[in-house]
Chains A and B, each alone.
Chain A
Amino acid sequence: MMLSLAAFAGSAFAVGMFYTAWRTQQPATGQIMKGLAVVLMLVSLWLWSYEHGPELGTCYAVVAFSLQAWSWIYVARQRIDKNIKRVVLPFESGMQWPGVNNITLRLLKAAAVIFLCAVSAMLLTVVWTTALPMNKVNQIALGIYTMPVLWGAFVYWLCADNTDWRPVLSVSLIGVLSYLLIYSV
């Protein structure tokens, strides 16, 4: 219990130091404070893990740190009470629907986001994880935890690129190559 309290206090101090580093006008002081904050965070993580084991300890450390940071931000909020006139925007009745071509394009994009990115992410995940020198169960577990990130990255690319065909083509190619690697080797 005492170690948990110490860990909690440690991460609270770490957040405080980050805040001080963020506020300070002197870069050198800021760097030192940030360094100390990182050290305190690591000490706090170690204390949590020592008391509750590495699995639960890490979870407690992350949750405590996030909540402390939010609390700090709330306490240190800036109140800006300028006399800003509230602009009431006019209500436009009805809705402007996009044209058929636009809707078709968006539906195709949604389909690519859901199906193409998902399948390619899964296939590529299988390829890269099975190439690692570890046993099968660990490879699968690693894949389960990392595949959504890969899927998310593909979705990001597909929606961010200015040319629609480039990510679609690239992601498709990645999927096809991964498929060939899995099923032809």
Chain B
Amino acid sequence: MKISISPNANKNALKSHAWVGLAVSVLMYWVCFSGALSVFSQELLRWEQPHVADNLDYSPATIQAAYEQFLTMQGGSAEGDIVVRLPTQDLPRARISADGEVWNIAPDGSLSEPSSTPITDLIVDLHVALHLPEDTGMMIVSMLGAMLSALIISGIIAHRRIFKDAFRLRTGNNEQLTQGDLHNRMSVWGLPFHLMIALTGVYFGLASFLTSFYADALYAGNKMDLFADIYGSSIQVEAQPQIANIAGALTELDRIAPNTQPIFVTLENATRDSQYILLSSQHMDKLIYAEQYRFDSHGNYINKVGYSDGKAGQQAIFSVYRIHFGHFGPEAMKIFFGLMGFALTIISVTGINLWLAKRQKQDILNQLWVGIVWGTPIAMVIAAIASLLFGLATKPVFWVILTAVLVGALRQQVLVKTHLGLLKMLTILLVILPVTHAVVHYPDVMVLNSLVIDVAFVVFAACVWRYRDSRIRKGWLS
């Protein structure tokens, strides 16, 4: 197949690719790396609290009991909605939350203990909002989605030998050649995935701006009408009891939608006269996050919002979350999505490495970049260890350690030493983390989820060590 792109267009595309890539380099790396880890957020949640029992067998009565106990603890009222997360195969734990408080529900329906997942929060919040205030952070992360699509477009145009080099991966002593091949092959063969991540990523923080324009164009400026069309209109109920009959609604749902997986119970307008129950239930053959079934507070079925059999567009909008995070299908799908996310991380890193190598000099930019790339996982692991051992807040520890790594990298003038030093540090920390976790949580750690994650850390440590070793064998120290 011959696709002809003029050398001039190719040169300009490369210029554009480099400009955008450099502009977003660090942020893109953080978002991709934390995004790859966030795919496993549910497993990490369980890893952080291994003593909380996993339990898929709950009855509507136990959920009702937990809700009533929670309501009593809250003094019988709640400012916002009350949400119950029901156990599912990928997160077999029930949790209840309102007004910023989250509690785990024991299998007998009692509230066991507050949910505390600072390590998962550190990772997920970095991905979602870069640890910035949520609105601002989400907007910036969403902009990165658009920049990713700009990088994809410029990358395709800049890649003149896209078909000629389709399967070429040259490894060996020429590091630059290997990195270039890795960058190009991973980008090209993962293109549909990368594009989908970019498009869905933009939705989370910036869709509201686009819908404002749509509201002006199609709904005479009335955003509520637009939301009603997409998300379904809200319902009005009056004189509802303060304590909702969740058990009744769950039992009724089993009859109305028997082949679905209930995932969330939301009490809209909780404890008020207009309170009603929203039961979100996943349709396993669809990508939409869930269908929402509405019940009054007595547990009587009212209607469903209609995402599952709604317009194609409505279903497409409600599929954004699951497509973005790979939370669908078997557990293997998560592993695939995690790998894809890591590939995107490698693409971000190798892209900047290639740009740095082309400059034919080394200065503080090289040091800073190595510091960012390896300092980020190092800071994450140290924050996790500090949280496990001393209960320290993860986010401040993460940023302090990352800053320290960057300062340390700047003080060092030999790039190879910085690089190998950081790799050694990361290897050691990746062994210390699972050991610490096992010691702190013994004997609760002896469950499959925790063991797999702890072993995975040791495997990662071995990979990093092997990478370091291969660099030494290539003569980096000579």
Contact = CB atoms under 8 A, between A and B. Distances in A.
Interface in A70-128: 70, 72-74, 76-84, 86, 88-95, 109-110, 113-114, 117-118, 121-123, 125-127
A147 B209 CA distance: 11
Interface string A18-42: 1100110000000000000000000
17 contacts: A55-B286, A56-B285, A59-B329, A63-B193, A78-B170, A80-B171, A81-B173, A122-B209, A143-B214, A144-B210, A151-B150, A152-B150, A155-B20, A156-B13, A159-B19, A160-B12, A160-B15
A182 interface: yes
A66 interface: yes
B211 A140 contact: yes
A59 B150 contact: no
Nearest to B154: A156
A101 B222 CA distance: 44
Interface string A156-167: 111111100000
B189 A69 contact: yes
Given A59-B328, A72-B167, A151-B146, 20 more contacts: A66-B193, A70-B343, A73-B168, A80-B171, A81-B172, A83-B173, A84-B174, A86-B173, A86-B474, A90-B361, A90-B362, A139-B218, A141-B312, A148-B146, A148-B149, A155-B147, A156-B13, A160-B9, A160-B15, A160-B16
B362 A78 contact: no
B199 A145 contact: yes
Contact of B207 (A80, A89, A144, A159): A144
B364 A143 contact: no
B213 interface: yes
Interface string B407-446: 0000001111000000000000000000000000000000
A139 B148 CA distance: 23
A162 to B, nearest CB: 7
B169 A55 contact: no
A82 B217 contact: no
Contact of A152 (B9, B147, B312, B339): B147
B363 A93 contact: yes
Contacts of A2: none
Nearest to A23: B167
Interface stretch (B90-98, B316-324, B398-406): B316-324
**Would you call the interface of chain A mostly helix, strand, loop, or mixed?**
helix
Interface of B: 9, 12-13, 15-16, 19-20, 23, 143, 145-154, 157, 166-174, 177, 185-186, 189-190, 192-193, 198-199, 202-203, 206-207, 209-211, 213-214, 216-219, 226, 229-230, 285-287, 310-314, 316-317, 319-320, 323, 328-329, 333, 336-337, 339-340, 343, 360-365, 413-416, 474-476, 478
B311 to A, nearest CB: 5
A52 B230 CA distance: 26
A69 B167 CA distance: 8
Given A59-B328, A62-B192, A91-B414, A153 B153 contact: yes
A169 interface: no
B170 A93 contact: no
A160 B154 contact: yes
A130 B210 CA distance: 13
Contacts of A157: 16
Contact of B185 (A55, A60, A73, A122): A73
Contact of B361 (A19, A80, A89, A142): A89
A182 B214 CA distance: 9
B143 A56 contact: no
A91 B154 contact: no
A23 B73 CA distance: 69
A110 B9 CA distance: 21
Contacts of A90: 361-362
A51 to B, nearest CB: 10
A76 B169 contact: yes
A138 interface: yes
B170 A95 contact: no
Given A59-B287, A67-B336, A148-B202, A82 B174 contact: yes
Contacts of B320: 144
B166 A22 contact: yes
Contacts of B177: 80
Contacts of A78: 168-172
Contacts of A55: 285-287, 319
A149 interface: yes
A66 B12 contact: no
Contacts of A138: 311-313
B326 to A, nearest CB: 8
A56 B329 contact: yes
Interface centre among A80, A147, A157 (most CB of B within 10 A): A147
Nearest to B155: A156
A137 B313 contact: yes
A97 to B, nearest CB: 11
8 nearest CB pairs, A to B: A141-B313, A152-B149, A138-B313, A159-B16, A160-B16, A152-B150, A155-B150, A80-B172
Contacts of A69: 189
A52 B218 contact: no
B309 to A, nearest CB: 13
A139 B146 CA distance: 20
A67 B339 contact: yes
Contacts of A80: 170-174, 177
Given A77-B169, A130-B217, A153 B150 contact: yes
A76 B167 contact: yes
B313 A139 contact: yes
B47 to A, nearest CB: 25
Given A80-B173, A183-B216, A141 B12 contact: no
Contact of B189 (A70, A82, A110, A139): A70
Contact of B171 (A79, A110, A182): A79
Contacts of B340: 63, 66-67
Given A70-B343, A74-B169, A182 B216 contact: yes
